[in-house]
Amino acid sequence: MITSKLPNVGTTIFTTMSQLAAETGALNLSQGFPDFNGPQALLDAVGKHVASGHNQYAPMTGLPILRQQVTAKIARSYGATVNPDSEVTITPGATAAIFCAIQAVIRSGDEVIVFDPCYDSYEPSVELAGGRCVHVQLSLDGFALDFEKIQAALSPRTRMIILNSPHNPTGALISRAELDLLAALIRDRDIYLVSDEVYEHLVFDGVPHVSVLAHEELYQRAFVVSSFGKTYHVTGWKTGYVVAPPALTAELRKVHQYVNFCGVTPLQFALADFMAEHPEHVDELPAFYQAKRDLFCDLLAPSRFSFTRVTGTYFQLVDYSQIRPDLDDVAMSLWMTREHGVATIPVSVFYQNPPQGQRLVRLCFAKREETLQQAAEKLCVI
């Protein structure tokens, strides 16, 4: 009989809800992917590079031209200078980058602080490294970091803290002042950071994304992860990258080369071309998604759901306590999918211990206008 290394892990809620949406014909606002294509020039570039023979292994660290484009984007976006050869690694998706970063530094008995609600891949990656997650809840009012709770959670075994901003599932942002407080808190401790910034360019209302890349002190102990899939509307390409100081990058690459070795070659060529030719894409992204957020929220205004417009990501939380307070959020998500034709994600799955009485579900608005209109019509009659 096999003894599972992940006994508490089953099929993810994202798979479950997407399958249920397909079975019932519901609109899928659960899993976080667009129902529209990426830029045509980017798609055309893939075919060009496939046809021209760029179909063999890329370098383990990623194509040099793509790593150079990443550093150029970082310089433009954050005023930070990183070395494309010693600090940037292209990976097959951000999840793989996070996994490799955790495996690179976490050993048996180490503790990793994560913030609930937190993305579901963090804890299994820590457990597979022999570590243990210490869950610290974000504030219920605004989902901000609670530094008293963080300080209480620190121990001699704490080896890593995982940040996520813009935050999935809540859309909350971490401020520069909060990063400064965190730096002061861990300054004299041997603690690393993973900063999950895959939604870095999906920030709204003129508020800038505050990246760990631009925080000189914290960056020296950080793995900063991002996603081409999120930024360029091609989540199925599963292509991301991680930026870290040279010593940390060297350790990450030792793991990366035995997990995937390298990312998909023609996709890397295509991304490098598009980034060089269209650097304005990332500048236009906030307005692009803010328009979708505002349309969706305007359409939901007549409904019985209550919500505060999200400040980042392409997810909107809505409170259904005025509709079916008798249902927990898992039951509510199943009921909405089966009875009203809209698939959502219950927020409780992102917690170790969900707050009692919380009645929140997550809706993805990375959709075409007609999809959002159809979904809102269904949600407004609940």
Would you state the CATH architecture of domain 13-31+281-381?
Alpha-Beta Complex (3.90)
Compute the distance between CA of residue 68 and CA of residue 85 in angstroms, rounded to an integer: 8
**Among 257, 270, 282, 328, CA closest to 91:** 257
pLDDT for 305: 98
Give the residue ranges of DSSP H helices in 224-328: 228-231, 246-259, 265-277, 280-300
Hey, where are the domains in the chain?
A: 13-31+281-381, 40-278
Phi, psi of 362 (to 5 degrees): -110, 130
Give the model confidence (pLDDT) of 285-331 as tens digits.
999 999 999 999 999 999 999 999 999 999 999 999 999 999 999 99
Compute the distance between CA of residue 183 and CA of residue 177 in angstroms, rounded to an integer: 10
- Cβ-based burial of 318 (10 A; exposed 0-12, middle 13-18, buried ≥19): buried
Phi, psi of 301 (to 5 degrees): -55, -40
pLDDT for 11: 82
pLDDT for 1: 85
DSSP state letter for 38: -
The mean pLDDT of 134-163, rounded to a whole number, is 97
Give the model confidence (pLDDT) of 171-228 as tens digits.
999 999 999 999 999 999 999 999 999 999 999 999 999 999 999 999 999 999 999 9
pLDDT for 13: 86
Give the model confidence (pLDDT) of 212-271 as tens digits.
999 999 999 999 999 999 999 999 999 999 999 999 999 999 999 999 999 999 999 999
Centre a 10 Å sphere on the Cβ of residue 242 and count the other Cβ atoms it contains.
Answer: 29
Binning the chain into helix, strand and coil, the percentages to the nearest 5 are: 45, 15, 40
Amino acid symbol at 334:
L
pLDDT for 37: 96
The mean pLDDT of 27-48, rounded to a whole number, is 96
- 171 close to 315: Cβ distance less than 8 angstroms: yes
pLDDT at 151 over 90: yes
Strand, helix or coil at 141? coil
Consecutive H or E run containing 66: helix 64-78
Give the model confidence (pLDDT) of 332-379 as tens digits.
999 999 999 999 999 999 999 999 999 999 999 999 999 999 999 999
Strand, helix or coil at 351? coil
pLDDT at 276 over 90: yes
Distance of CA 12 to CAs 15, 167, 350, Å? 5, 19, 11
Paired tokens of 216: 């000189």
CA 10 to chain centre: 20
pTM of the model: 0.97
Paired tokens of 369: 């206008």
pLDDT for 179: 98
pLDDT, mean over the chain: 97
Strand, helix or coil at 174? coil
pLDDT for 362: 98
Beta strands (DSSP E) in the chain are 27-28, 88-91, 111-116, 132-137, 158-164, 192-196, 222-227, 240-243, 315-319, 342-343, 345-346, 360-364
In this prediction, residue 112 has a pLDDT band, given cuts at 50, 70 and 90, of very high
pLDDT at 10 over 90: no
Taking the domain 40-278, which CATH number applies?
A: 3.40.640.10
pLDDT at 12 over 90: no
pLDDT for 14: 87
The mean pLDDT of 53-64, rounded to a whole number, is 98
